[in-house]
């Protein structure tokens, strides 16, 4: 690894070694090759062993200069099936990004409606001008069962408008969901932003939705979340935060 880029061919070969510790150490050593190693490390994130994927993230976090493309690889790893890899990804993200704004979304005054017939998407319940005045009031940060929907299994929709300050100089904006039981689909200002849909296993997995191109700085923004559970409590049971960031120097 101390040979830098000159070691790249040998270390790339080592990524296919049968010994897990050889692969692990090859990943760490690749950080010395700088940005030339990013492609090989990206492929190493497909390794079947979580400890090797962890090493990839440690290496990516050490590589300079930092680039948005590398950050995107790290962000994708935050959805890894392994909790230890996801934790390593979050640590790498925190080192890689400079957070300029952290805006917790309000826990109260959300509008909520059950969608037992699953017609909400077709009827565009996510539109900015959609009339949700007859919807129930609900909060987030607790399962919908704690708001009178105990035992409900299916789809429920959340809507709220939030005020967003002027851009503090960020190049990226993401919504951090700390937990939705169990799946979620998100719209910002009527535009589809992304989803977290890995089935029942996703109920306690934090996830990020990139809203960089959808957020309106210095304005009110309408947020819609379609949540679905197939077992247990349901809903946006953990906090949601808007993060405005840029790649750290």
* pLDDT tens readout for residues 161-214: 999 999 999 999 999 999 999 999 999 999 999 999 989 999 998 898 999 999
Mean pLDDT on 93-99: 87
Residue 249 has pLDDT above 80, yes or no: no
What pLDDT does residue 67 have?
87
Determine which helix (DSSP H) or strand (DSSP E) holds 100, and give its type and residue range: strand 97-104
Mean pLDDT calculated for residue range 62-82: 89
Which of 69, 6, 53 has its CA nearest to residue 33? Answer: 6
Compute the average pLDDT of residues 93-110.
93
Number of helical H runs and strand E runs in the chain: 6, 10
Nearest to 192 by CA among 222, 218, 163, 220: 222
Q: What local confidence, expressed as pLDDT, does residue 58 receive?
A: 96
The pLDDT score that the predictor gives to residue 232 is 82
Stretch 115-131: mean pLDDT: 98
How does pLDDT run across 130-172, given as a tens digit for each residue? 999 999 999 999 999 999 999 999 999 999 999 999 999 999 9
DSSP classification of residue 77: H
- DSSP H/E element including 207: strand 207-210
pTM equals: 0.79
- Among 103, 107, 238, which Cα is nearest to 184's? 238
Q: Which string of DSSP letters, residue by residue, matches 12-37?
A: HHHTT-S-HHHHHHHHHHHGGGGGGG
Mean pLDDT over all residues of the chain? 95
């Amino acid at each position: 690894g101390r040979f830098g880029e000159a070691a790249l061919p040998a270390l790339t070969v080592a990524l296919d070694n049968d010994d897990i510790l050889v692969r692990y150490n090859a990943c760490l050593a690749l950080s010395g090759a700088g940005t030339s190693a990013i492609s090989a490390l990206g492929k190493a994130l497909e390794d079947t062993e979580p400890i090797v994927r962890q090493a990839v993230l440690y290496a990516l976090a050490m590589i300079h200069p930092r680039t948005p493309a590398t950050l995107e690889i790290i962000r994708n790893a935050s959805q890894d099936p392994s909790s230890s890899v996801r934790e390593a990804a979050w640590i790498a993200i925190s080192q890689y990004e400079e957070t300029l704004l952290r805006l917790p979304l309000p826990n109260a005054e959300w509008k909520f409606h059950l969608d037992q017939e699953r017609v909400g998407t077709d009827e565009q319940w996510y539109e900015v001008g959609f009339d949700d005045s007859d919807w129930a009031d609900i909060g987030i940060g607790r399962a919908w069962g704690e708001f009178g929907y105990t035992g409900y299994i299916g789809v429920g929709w959340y809507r709220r408008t939030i005020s967003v300050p002027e851009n503090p100089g960020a190049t990226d904006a993401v919504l951090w969901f700390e937990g939705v039981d169990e799946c979620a689909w998100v719209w910002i200002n009527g535009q589809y932003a992304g989803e977290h849909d890995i089935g029942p296993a996703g109920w306690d997995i934090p996830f990020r939705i990139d809203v960089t191109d959808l957020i309106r700085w210095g304005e009110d923004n309408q947020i819609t979340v379609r949540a679905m559970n197939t077992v247990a409590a349901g809903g946006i049971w953990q906090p949601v935060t808007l993060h405005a960031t840029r790649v750290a120097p």
